[in-house]
Chains A and B, each alone.
With several copies, the nearest count.
Chain A
Amino acid sequence: MAALTEEQTLIRDQARAWVTEQSPVRKFRQMRDEKAPLSFHADDWQAMIDMGWTGILVPEKYGGSELGYLTLGIVLEETGRQLTASPLLASAGIGAAALLVAGSDEQKQRILPGVVDGSNVVTLAVEEGPRHDPRQLSLAAMSRDDGLSLVGEKTMVHEAMAATHFVVAVRTSGHAGDENGMTLVLVDAESEGLTLSPLSTVDSRGYASLSFSDVKVSEEQILGSVNSAYVHLEQILDRARAATAAEMMGTAAQAFDMTLEYLKTRVQFGQVIGSFQALGHRAADLFTEMELTRSCMEGALQAIDAGREDVPELCSLSKTRTGEFIHHMSNELIQIHGGIGMTDEFDAGLYLKRARPLEAAWGNQAFHRDRYARLLGF
């Protein structure tokens, strides 16, 4: 764990206590079994707002505390541990980041205070195909008298059913594959012509597809300048990657802790299974991987906070390493638990099912290895 300030330590302890007591994994299970329409509990979300978590990224002048990405990561790690469901990552993390990166002062003033007080839920809509590729945008935005008209589809939009606004990456010129010709727009969830279809995914989290059928967007809803949004989009995505990695770290660390506990208590052949050297060595490997991964995850968040130049590399590093670790850890979680780990009533499966969607989000390990190599020039 990075050397934390006193405030960060306080926030972490509060977050850990709250998720453990108020929103442990059985609450997520309950939500899943009830098929809650929003895929989260409103009371949990309100508690997070009350604790100030929705304002962690937002400057004070827009009603937030501007404590930064590392602090947000500290909280996301704790919610990740218990799979706590909410729009925290999607809205107060990625949605807020989108406005902070690309919005004008007027736009921030208009939207961010609502993000902080929970009246606005802003989420990013980028993906169109089955695999992450931010250049492959074809959702068409045609010019109209007073703005744009959107026609096309987005998919795997996080927490879309709860959203009041979508930050949508659209194509204002060029073709799918071009870096030029993209624009970011803020679309009201109530817009005419916009249809949401919730997706039932393996992780029981809230996603939806969006269908745009001549959705009108005024000029005030354009974030940044027309046709040149790619640089902003990459910055937003890097923040999404770094924040998602923090949540992944929490989920994987909890899987590690569950496994370690099982190794210490499960008896087979007359001994606790953790005393079998082959398992002890696997636990040591996982611990080593976890510690190395944590450094990458925290380092990326710190780099964003410090405005460093190597943010893109570090975010790809963080997303890759947390992806590799959660992949390996979630498989070992099941394997080491054996038969009990295969049952739905035990929690291990929930962590495994959460792992793959997180790996795929904003680019999987292969995507970011390729990107890292390109950033390093080979």
Chain B
Amino acid sequence: MAEDLTSFRTQVQAWLSEHFPSSLKSNAAGIMEAAFSENGLSADAEQWRQSLADAGYGAPTWPKEYGGAGLSDSQAAVLSGEMANVGAFNPIPGLAGMGVTMVGPTVLEYGSEDQKLRHLPGIASGTVRWCLGLSEPNAGSDLASLTTKAQDDGDTWIVNGQKIWTSGADRSQWCGALVRTDASAKKRDGISFLMLKMDQPGVRTRPIKLIGGASPFCETFFDDARAEKDDLLGPLNNGWSVVKRLLQHERQSQTGAGAPSGSGSAALSIQDLAKKYVGTTESGELADADLRSRLTSHLMATKAHAMTGSRIREEARGKVEVSAAASILKNSATIVAQVRSELTIEMMGNQGLGWEGDDFTPEELATVRGWLSGKAISIYGGSFEVQKNIISKNILGLPETTQKG
């Protein structure tokens, strides 16, 4: 077993030295920025993407026949470790939008052989970008009350309705949408998961400006949009089970407390930042004792959150099931991230109130924008309130009551 990984590691190292252009070294941000600019990927980056796609390393754990490399989790860890060692970065998950992280795993689980062959290779090569159409203006936390409907006209599905918070919709080629296919059924029944092309006359997108500025989110309008009959994923009228799985993928990705808003790897720790803006007493304590107590509580909460993540990983080692404590981590991560933002703008004082311009450093401006956009963490992907309902009901076994999201 250890032997296998060693030889795989050697193989990966050789492959990297052959295919990874040194011009791209340690430049993940630059690659992605170019990808979404008008110019698109640089020639080197495009060549690197193609090399990854050819090797199946864009989505390395997917089966080879669908564009992956069929790697085990351990092998995938070796691959990503070796890539990190040489400063290489896999742009394909970013290029594919919701494809690699959300749509792909769901297609692998629920798709027909035909669907897998048609959709997965484009995702795994980073050439087809996907968005997800889930929420609607009147179906937020209460997703099951969605009204976008798809009617079977014999040859195709005809889709009408409006989605909101469709991240990256204005730059996607495909959309996975939750639609109502049986209006007479109860709320959670009668819903199906449909895949459709974005580049067609019946689809219109409008980017949403958020309180922190421009955002990847869109409103998406379907006006007699069409989807192929064989692009229904999973059983008809049983899309709810598909979406529950999707949301699990989403929540799992949100249980870390994330990096400090607006800080690169060279950023100061929050306590050093505090000392910089607030100053210290003669004995080296933060000059604002009130802030110092609250900052300490925050650092303790951050540490407690990190230690809980480690504990759960340790407990779950070898088990397949997602730990029940995942719901705790989502809210805990939310509090950690949002309190950090609030404390940071508080300590920056007037310098933490900038919107734009040279009177504020880029870090100060990024802190303010991050503080604003971070308010979403407790709203999307299972709101703070919904998570509490889940803990109360599913984990503590308290009887169901009226639920709010």
Instruction: Spell out A's residues near B (CB within 8 Å).
Output: 1-3, 127, 129-132, 155-156, 197, 199-204, 209, 260, 263-264, 267-281, 283-285, 287-288, 291-296, 298-299, 317, 320-321, 331, 334-335, 338-345, 348-349, 352-353, 356-357, 360, 364-367, 369-370, 372-374, 376-378
The reply to whether the CB of B90 lies closer than 8 angstroms to some CB of chain A is no
Q: Within 8 Å CB of A365, what residues of B? A: 290
* Residues of chain A with a CB closer than 8 A to B348's CB: 130
* Contact of B304 (CB < 8 Å), options: A132, A295, A343: A295
B290 and A370 within 8 A (CB): yes
B residues less than 8 Å from A364 (CB atoms)? 346, 349
Contacting residues of chain B (117-149) with chain A, CB-CB under 8 angstroms? 135, 137-138, 140-142, 145
Q: How far is the CB of A360 from chain B (nearest CB, A)?
A: 6
Most central of B165, B271, B280, B300 by chain A CB within 10 Å: B300
- Of B271, B288, B305, which is within 8 A of A292 by CB? B305
B271 touching A264, Cβ below 8 Å: no
- A276 CB contacts on chain B under 8 angstroms: 401-404
B245 within 8 A of A: no
CB-CB under 8 A from A341, the residues of chain B are 375, 379
Pair A373/B296 contact, Cβ less than 8 Å: yes
Top 7 A-B pairs, shortest CB-CB distance: A349-B211, A276-B404, A280-B392, A130-B349, A131-B349, A366-B290, A284-B391
**New contact pairs (8) apart from A270-B145, A344-B213, A349-B211, CB-CB < 8 Å:** A269-B141, A269-B145, A360-B352, A369-B300, A370-B288, A372-B299, A373-B292, A378-B284
Q: Which of B21-29, B172-180, B307-315 contacts A (4 or more CB under 8 A)?
A: B307-315
Chosen A-B contacts, 28 in total, with CB atoms closer than 8 Å, are A2-B314, A2-B315, A130-B349, A130-B351, A204-B355, A268-B145, A268-B404, A272-B399, A276-B404, A277-B403, A280-B389, A281-B385, A287-B391, A287-B396, A288-B332, A291-B325, A296-B307, A321-B300, A335-B383, A338-B379, A339-B135, A357-B353, A360-B346, A373-B285, A373-B295, A376-B271, A377-B271, A378-B292
Q: How far is the CA of A353 from the CA of B29 in the complex (A)?
A: 29
* Contact, CB under 8 Å: A320 / B399: no
**Interface 1/0 per residue, B270-307 and A, CB below 8 Å:** 01101101101000111011111101110111011101
A204 to B404 alpha-carbon distance, docked (Å): 34
CB distance from B156 to the nearest CB of A (A): 31
Instruction: Decide if A292 touches B301 in the complex (CB within 8 Å).
Output: yes
A130 CA to B383 CA in the complex, in Å?
A: 34
Find residues 322-354 in chain B having any chain A CB closer than 8 Å to their own CB.
325, 328, 331-332, 345-346, 348-354
- The smallest beta-carbon distance between B138 and chain A, in angstroms, is 7
- A368–B391 Cα distance when bound, in Å, is 30
In this complex, the member of B303, B325, B389 whose beta carbon has the largest number of chain A beta carbons within 10 angstroms is B303
B165 proximity list for chain A (CB < 8 A) = 339
Complex CA–CA separation, A156 to B3 (angstroms)? 60
Interface string of B381-405 (1 = CB under 8 A from A): 0011101110111011111111111
CA gap between A284 and B209 in the complex, in Å: 32
Number of residues on chain B facing chain A (CB within 8 A): 90
Q: B155 in the interface, Cβ–Cβ < 8 Å? A: no
Q: In the complex, which residue of chain A has the Cβ closest to the Cβ of B347?
A: A131
The yes or no answer to B164 lying at the interface (CB within 8 A) is yes
Contacts of A284 in B (CB 8 A): 387-389, 391-392, 396
Find out whether the CB atom of B295 lies under 8 angstroms from the CB atom of A360.
no
B380 touches A (CB below 8 Å): yes
CB distance from A59 to the nearest CB of B (A): 27
Is there contact, CB below 8 Å, between A275 and B379? no
The answer to whether the Cβ of B244 comes within 8 Å of any Cβ in the partner chain is no
Residues B293 and A131 in contact, CB atoms below 8 Å apart: no
Instruction: List, in ascending order, chain B residues with CB within 8 A of A366's CB.
Output: 288, 290-291, 293, 346
Residues of A close to B384: CB separation below 8 A: 335
Q: In the complex, which of the residues B140, B211, B400 contacts A353, with contact meaning CB atoms closer than 8 Å?
A: B211
B83 interface residue per 8 A CB criterion: no
Given contacts A283-B392, A317-B303, A342-B211, whether A131 and B350 have CB atoms under 8 Å apart is yes
Q: Is the CB of B354 within 8 A of A199?
A: yes
Q: With A131-B349, A273-B404, A284-B396 in contact, do A369 and B274 touch (Cβ < 8 Å)? A: no
CA–CA, A204 and B353, complex, Å:
10
Q: Is B325 within 8 A of A132, CB to CB?
A: no
A299 contacts across to B, CB distance below 8 A: 307, 311
Docked complex: B85-133 residues within 8 A CB-CB of A? none
**Highest count of chain A CB atoms <10 Å: which of B142, B164, B274:** B142
B77 contacts the other chain (CB 8 A)? no
A131 and B300 in contact (CB under 8 A), knowing A275-B402, A287-B391, A291-B328? Answer: no
Q: Verify B304–A377 contact, CB threshold 8 A.
A: no
Tell me the complex Cα distance, A296–B280, Å. 28
Which residues from chain B contact A278 at a C-beta distance below 8 Å?
Answer: 385, 388, 404
- Determine whether the beta carbon of A296 is less than 8 Å from that of B303: yes
Contact yes or no, B328 A288, CB < 8 A: yes
Compute how far the CA of A260 lies from the CA of B392 in the bound complex, rounded to whole angstroms.
Answer: 10
A287 pairs with B402, CB closer than 8 A: no
Cβ-neighbour of A343 out of B209, B278, B290, B297 (below 8 A): B209
**A130 contacts B284, C-beta separation under 8 Å:** no
**Distance between Cα atoms of A246 and B62 in the complex (Å):** 44
**Do A280 and B398 contact each other (CB < 8 Å), given the known contacts A321-B300, A342-B211, A377-B271?**
yes
Residues in A whose Cβ lies below 8 Å from that of B332: 288, 292
Which one of B288, B355, B372 contacts A349 once the chains associate, using CB atoms below 8 Å? B372
CB-CB under 8 A from B140, the residues of chain A are: 268, 338-339
Quick check: A263 and B141 within 8 Å, CB to CB? no
